Structure 1
């Protein structure tokens, strides 16, 4: 395919895009044309294009969002990267002749990225090779093509580990939110319950939240206070990577 000449050979990227909304954690998957087989969004890197720029381009094409927290987490370089189906089975499932398949599906070293978005804000869009792009519950992901199940597993472990040294929440919650809202976000990502008092004490100690004089309306008599992120302090915390240590 002539268009492949525009891209670096044997280098690709794959993106595990996690979506959070209302206590749910999902992952964005693509379905190949004419099949029931799914994979992660990904693509190749143009000549003269930085790797991170290629990842941001790919995510914007799939989600319609331009401001996304995106982080490189691992390089996948095994010689054998066909975990659920062999190379021949993969070509058959995708309806590709052997010669064309070898041209399209080469032995690539793939750089893995993960992102966390508010999935209600996303407009999922398939790429040239796929005809459906949609969210799957994190616990209901089907067997994926290539080694993409391994990618999702490692990306989720990395995201959970991130909570030990960086904050999450900005652009995932409303501008004003309650401490229970923030705790629900962390519990959803971690997949476990957290002690309310310890969580609140810890979060307030990081000095990235501003407590407002407003309380949440329409709730119980002792409605919780509303908070918002201090954007400048939040971004500094992301850069310094000093939160949640100790």
Structure 2
């Protein structure tokens, strides 16, 4: 887990006025992936007044497009714009909301948690996953959270409500994407080595890949440019650096790669 970042308390105002501004019963939840030190990271929020972590999410304004709400959440949590974002699933189990936790949150700011309160109603949430540059993101909490931090995928705690399920579904979707679309442009630095790219794929897939087959397949896609530079500061023979060919990478996102892992 990395450094956390505090935020001022605006939760009372949001809970009191939310019913006037937000679409009833609708929210978005975002699984934000980053890659650092050969580990796939997930951005999580530490909720106020509860010893639980959660995925970044938010409510949808009554006159707001749902995808715009997801973009707004991502920009406010990471400080980044022009993020790779995909809607992947809708979560609508009747009992997915934690009404006990929501009542406690209302009581903590001096509000009466009556049954008709908008915050205690059933919420259907639209899931989005995003791929971001770890080094450029500046994690920031939302109004009902006290901290924001990156977690290693292998160390994710028990999250609030159905957020572990939402995260797992996002990871399954990302793995399926690897079968027909490239991954890496939004997760790796501008220049990277082939072993670093392979490690990213292995981390997402959760399995080892043959080095020679991986390199042959990636070069066969035509989406990489090999640079006339080698990685500095390595003990053994320095590997060449690569960058993504943005035009061909974009075409591969549109047309697919048609090869599996």
TM-score, structure 2 as length reference: 0.85
> What RMSD in Å do the two structures reach over aligned CA positions?
2.1
Structure 1, gaps ≥5 residues long: none
Matched, 1:182 2:194: no
TM-aligned CA deviation for residue 213 of structure 1: 2.5
Distance 1:32 1:221 in 2: 45
SS in 2 for 1:121: coil
Distance 1:98 1:5 in 2: 16
- C-alpha offsets along residues 43-68 of structure 1, whole Å, 9 cap, x if unaligned? 11223322211111110000111121
Distance 1:161 1:102 in 2: 40
SS in 2 for 1:98: coil
SS in 2 for 1:34: coil
Structure 2, gaps ≥5 residues long: 1-15
Of 17, 21, 31 in structure 1, the residue corresponding to residue 32 of structure 2 is 17
What residue is the counterpart of 2:212 in the other structure? 197
What residue is the counterpart of 1:228 in the other structure? 243
Distance 1:239 1:169 in 2: 15
What residue is the counterpart of 1:164 in the other structure? 179
- C-alpha offsets along residues 6-43 of structure 1, whole Å, 9 cap, x if unaligned? 22211111001122112111211112223222211111
Q: Is the 8 A contact 2:48 2:144 kept in 1?
A: yes
Q: Is the 8 A contact 1:206 1:243 kept in 2?
A: no
Q: Is the 8 A contact 1:13 1:43 kept in 2?
A: yes
SS in 2 for 1:15: strand
Of 122, 144, 149 in structure 1, the residue corresponding to residue 164 of structure 2 is 149
SS in 2 for 1:166: coil
Deviation >4 Å, runs of 4+: none
TM-aligned CA deviation for residue 101 of structure 1: 8.6
TM-score, structure 1 as length reference: 0.90
What residue is the counterpart of 1:107 in the other structure? 122
Matched, 1:117 2:129: no
Distance 1:124 1:228 in 2: 26
TM-aligned CA deviation for residue 3 of structure 1: 3.6
